[in-house]
Structure 1
Amino acid sequence: MAKSAPVPGRPRSRDAAGLPAVTPDRIIDAALELTARHGVESWTLRQLAGAVDAYPAVIYHHVGDRDTVVTAVVDRVIAKYELPPADLEWRDWWRQFLTNLRLVFMQYPGVARRVALNGPSVQAGGATVDRAMRTLLGAGFEQEEATMVCRLLVSQACLFISLEDDQRKAAEVKDQIKGGWGAPPPDPDLSGLATLTEAVHERLEDPQRNTEYFGELFDYAVDRVLDGVQKRLDEIKGA
């Protein structure tokens, strides 16, 4: 059977068309950029294919399905944060680690939720988990409880970052909060509610304080969880 003739004017290859080669790294780079712009759950495989000037089948061939691509994106994000020095006291280590985690994860909406649900891959998160567990074991936790504490601290931090992701992407959230919790309570006897709504209103009216809200809430949550873990550690050492 005779071969079909090439279509006039159509380049025979990507090279001839002046397009860079499609590689796994280039696909993940493009997926990382889409995640930064839209969030990890808000881009499609077709959009990713368009970003690298290829067909979706090419993505499957080089990397895999969308979930496989997302796993690779999460691994890339995890590789971006720095681990604190190993010689820090356990609480200082965790405080700095979770702060670094937030600064990186908030640049890639949705990644924190994925990590909270599934954890990191062994390839990407192995060194981090090893260091984290060593700090807890060195502080005095037994193996089983150190594992629980590690999971608790990471998941709580990721859940707070996920909340921040969700609220930042909804432009109407500020107005909803201001119209509800930022308004005076209908019953003047609800003094506790009045105190809260006054605080919310003052913050919403102050652009600087409003911008810093998520960071302050995250720091407060981390410190209080660490307080609880420290109390448990004191009980273990005093037993």
Structure 2
Amino acid sequence: MSSPNLGPRPSGAAAQITQAARELSADRGLHGWTMRDLERAAHASPSTIYHHTSGRQELLQSVVESILEEVEVPPPDVPDYREAFRKLTGDLYCAVTPYPGTAAWLMALGPKIPKGAQILELGIGWLLAAGVRPAGLACAQILSTALGVIASADAGRGSKLNSSAILDRLKATTNASPSRKEVVAYMSNFVVGDQELPAAARDFFDAAVDVVLAGVHAGYRDGSIRGAARFSTP
């Protein structure tokens, strides 16, 4: 994976602290650094840091906000909501993937920040214009699927050796059923070199997004989605 785009160097003490926290998040993950780490990275004293922020949670939010600002949001009026979501989720993938833990943060707290709320509102608007109901539920499921795939990959980072061992065990068994062969073929896509793995991960992500978009387009239009009635608006 290429190095993350850390954005332009900000000016001002508060912005420099956020930038240092972002760089730490790229290196160690959003939740992988301490305030002491930040003091060293930002070359700032605890009093300086706490003068500009109320604490770690506010810093994490500032980091996520700075990352999300790199996501280009399609306009409110789009000819095809599926293509708009593909573009949006693809940009989310590129912006968020270099910072492990960010996708999970957005799943839990995304609407708390202005850009997160904007994305949710725009997505719902695309769906309403296309006649998809309930639009809020459909939008949440599309975005949750996209972010959930990234969060799952974050949790599994460094597990390639475990995957390799599982794959070897599966290959060594005498069960050569079609389903076993399919499992081996699927897992082989992720037991590859470091240069190939990002492409496999991105293809998995794109397929997951397209699957949920296809389900939304078909199921929400014909009313066949279980549990959807609860989320319908008057």
Match of 2:61 among 39, 63, 71: 71
Structure 1 residue aligned with 2:120: 129
Structure 1 residue aligned with 2:174: 187
How is 1:1-239 mapped onto 2 (pairs within 5 angstroms)? 23-85=13-75, 86-142=77-133, 145-168=134-157, 170=158, 173-183=159-169, 184-201=171-188, 204=191, 209-235=196-222
CA distance in structure 1 between the aligned counterparts of 2:222 and 2:91, rounded to whole angstroms: 29
Q: Quote the offset at 1:39 in angstroms.
A: 0.7
Could you report, residue by residue, the CA deviation over 1:7-58 in whole angstroms, capped at 9, with x for unpaired residues? Answer: xxxxxxxxxxxxxx96211111111111111110001111111122222232
CA distance in structure 2 between the aligned counterparts of 1:233 and 1:148, rounded to whole angstroms: 10
* Higher RCO (C-alpha under 8 Å, 6+ residues apart): 2
Larger Rg: 1
8 A Cα contact 2:189 2:200, kept in partner: no
8 A Cα contact 1:109 1:162, kept in partner: yes
Letter paired with 1:115: L
Could you report, residue by residue, the CA deviation over 1:109-141 in whole angstroms, capped at 9, with x for unpaired residues? Answer: 111010112224242323222221210111113
Over 3 Å counting, the alpha-carbon distance change for 1:75 and 1:208 in structure 2 is closer
Over 3 Å counting, the alpha-carbon distance change for 1:100 and 1:88 in structure 2 is farther
CA distance in structure 2 between the aligned counterparts of 1:232 and 1:132, rounded to whole angstroms: 18
Letter paired with 1:175: L
Runs of 4+ in 1 over 4 A off after TM superposition: 205-209
RMSD value, Cα: 2.2
Structure 2 residue aligned with 1:18: none
For structure 1, the residue ranges without an aligned partner over 5 or more in a row are 1-20
Between Structure 1 and Structure 2, how many residues are aligned? 211
CA distance in structure 2 between the aligned counterparts of 1:24 and 1:205, rounded to whole angstroms: 42
**Percent identical:** 27
